[in-house]
Amino acid sequence: MPDTAQNFQSFTATTRPDQGPPRLAELRAEMGRAGLQGFLIPRADAHQGEYVAPRDERLSWLTGFTGSAGFCAVLPERAGVFVDGRYRLQVKAQTDTAHFTPVNWPETKLEDWLIAELPKGGVVGFDPWLHTVAEIERMEGALSPHQISLRPGDNLVDAIWPDQPGPPLAPARAWPDRFAGKTAVQKLAECAETLNDAGHGCALLTQPDSICWLLNIRGADVAHTPLVHAFALLHPNGTLDLFIAAEKLVDLDLPKGVTAHPPDALSDALAQAPQPVRLDPASAPFAAKQTLDAAGRESAQDSDPCLLPKARKNPAEIAATTQAHLRDGAAMARFLHWFDENAPTGTLSEIDIARALEGFRAETGALKEISFDTIAGAGPNGAIVHYRVTEETNAPVLPGQLFLIDSGAQYEDGTTDVTRTLPVGKVGAEECEAFTQVLRGMIAIHLARFPKGLTGRDLDALARAPLWAAGRDFDHGTGHGVGVYLGVHEGPQRLSRNGTVTLEPGMILSNEPGYYRDGAFGIRLENLVVVAEAPPLPGGDDRPMLHFETLSYVPIDRRLIDRGQLGALELDWLNAYHGEVAARIGPLLEGEAAAWLAKATAPL
């Protein structure tokens, strides 16, 4: 097994179901003192990032639920924990369901649940830094006809959390322009032009990945994603006021035109900001709009001006992440060879395998972090979509099981995310049938050609059709956006029923259909792809078309494929893909690993 000295992933359980009830009682006492009939606890920080610092883990501290998305609504007699399809098994395992009620979200909307549970005159408290403008305005519109009101105020969880950690203060560092493709000054000028075109006085930037992208900086304020927590005001002349803790700037020279201020200067700056102040209602905290309204400043609700430029990767960014994916593909091949040699013995655990994979990535000498906690699920644990193995849940990996491994890495030149489902010895016909349906859905996305102007919602069904034909489906999106040495989940583009953003060249997306049999097994396959201009085809009508180019090159396990289910085009794609894996990754391997790859990528 390779060296795993870095240990980016902890396997210690950080919560217990029995921690929730006494904390819930304390919170209800605080609600009573504040005259509230409800209080909202989102899994969020002031920047609305997917990953939060330890001080912002209020949802897990209160409930025990550790998923990356969700929220709790605490009432005097009920406490609903709202989670999406990825976490419906996990929330039941991690919370005391005698005190916390799992609620399927977004099928059940929070405002509808509150209307059903609260009497007229009910008052629900919330921390205005942890909820977006759009979220609060939507809820107020739904609740006010029922005489239920929302009240912004202090965070009541903070009031009962005696050992709450302090804010993160990791130093920021410069990210090389050769990977970024543009200097920070160039990006500032381009995004400022958006403000000029719209007639905005300035723009409030609240998302750390936007600020990191804009200034070509990276940090370490949260696990797994190299973010710097900060706020900023971008001006039409290309200058920027950056609100950031001084401790983060000790190793960083800020770009020309950028002025640093302490974080607590933000409110005064907003109160005097040039009007109208652009803010993104989908990500800006409601507290920012409160401040503007109180000062009589006009605001303009519009998208973050960095959002689409960040999503449309330039050639330098694509070249950089291509190299990261080749490096990662070689590490994955070495891992898969090791897995094939060792898993069938029945002596490995889920933690053993997750540690081994991190070790193979560390051996590249380029690993900065893992891009998320590795999902390493044996047998029934694979059916928990975002399963996080701990020392308490750690299961043996046994012959006859499927093993699902979803993992990724952060290298200075790119962010990776790849999933493979592997057999441990021989598995049953049902597993192979479902695996092949998932594979066919993945291939459908890889083969897709589509007119410019389509959104992810237009393509999502392609990945589901083979499963639908068998009466099956999966309860997560087909794909999410991915950054370049930034977030492994990056917006605004996505392949899902909710994907309403037009797909454009340079956007990186995951392609990851799956199938999950509760209590039995889970299957998911994932590659990253990048949107690109599609070459014209003979006989076409010269309509501008797009397609997906592949970034991930990792063998797909041939032993799980039901050859009879594959059509000719699907088989051709699979063999061509494996030919590319062999050509691109093979030269990076030696010895037994190289021989293993040649066998694993042989034509079917």
Q: How confident is the model over 67-96, as pLDDT tens digits?
A: 989 999 999 999 999 999 889 989 999 999
By the 10 Å C-beta count (0-12 exposed, 13-18 middle, 19+ buried), 381 is classed as buried
Domains of the chain by range and CATH? 17-160 (3.40.350.10), 173-310 (3.40.350.10), 312-600 (3.90.230.10)
pLDDT at 81: 98
pLDDT confidence tier of residue 1, bands split at 50, 70 and 90: low
pLDDT at 271: 97
pLDDT at 67: 92
Radius of gyration of the chain (CA): 24
Dump pLDDT digits (tens) for 427-463: 999 999 999 999 999 999 999 999 999 999 999 999 9
pLDDT confidence tier of residue 49, bands split at 50, 70 and 90: confident
Dump pLDDT digits (tens) for 341-373: 999 999 999 999 999 999 999 999 999 999 999
pLDDT at 424: 98
- Return d(Cα 197, Cα 176) in angstroms, integer: 30
pLDDT at 260: 98
Percentage with pLDDT > 70 across the chain: 99
CB atoms within 10 A of CB 266: 22
Whole-number mean pLDDT of the chain?
97
- Return d(Cα 74, Cα 80) in angstroms, integer: 7
Dump pLDDT digits (tens) for 256-282: 999 999 999 999 999 999 999 999 999
Dump pLDDT digits (tens) for 291-326: 999 999 999 999 999 999 999 999 999 999 999 999
- Find the mean pLDDT for residues 120-147: 98
- Find the mean pLDDT for residues 107-132: 97
- Find the mean pLDDT for residues 217-236: 98
- Find the mean pLDDT for residues 564-589: 98
35: left (phi > 0), else alpha (psi -120 to 50), else beta?
A: left
- Find the mean pLDDT for residues 186-203: 98
- 461 is written with which tokens? 């069904």
pLDDT at 4: 55
pLDDT at 130: 98
**Could you tell me which residues are beta bridge partners of residue 514?**
524
Q: What is the pTM assigned to this prediction?
A: 0.95
- Return d(Cα 268, Cα 284) in angstroms, integer: 17
Helix axes 429-447, 456-468, angle to 10 degrees: 150
Is the pLDDT at 3 greater than 90, yes or no?
no
Is the pLDDT at 168 greater than 70, yes or no?
yes
In the sheet where 258-261 sits, what is the strand order? Answer: 258-261, 240-243, 231-234, 202-205, 277-279, 299-301
313 and 321 Cβ atoms separated by less than 8 Å: yes
- Helix (H/G/I), strand (E/B), else coil: 570: helix
